Structure 1
Amino acid sequence: MFLDASAVVAIMTRAKDADLLLSKVAAGRTTIHYSSVTMFEAVIAVARKNAISIHGNSDRRHCR
Structure 2
Amino acid sequence: MRFFTVALAALFAGLAAADCTPGETNCGAGPAANTILVCNEEGIPTPVTTCTNGQTCQNVGANNGPTCA
TM-score (norm: length of structure 1): 0.29
Considering fraction of residues, name the structure with more strand.
2
Greater CA radius of gyration, 1 or 2?
2
Considering fraction of residues, name the structure with more helix.
1
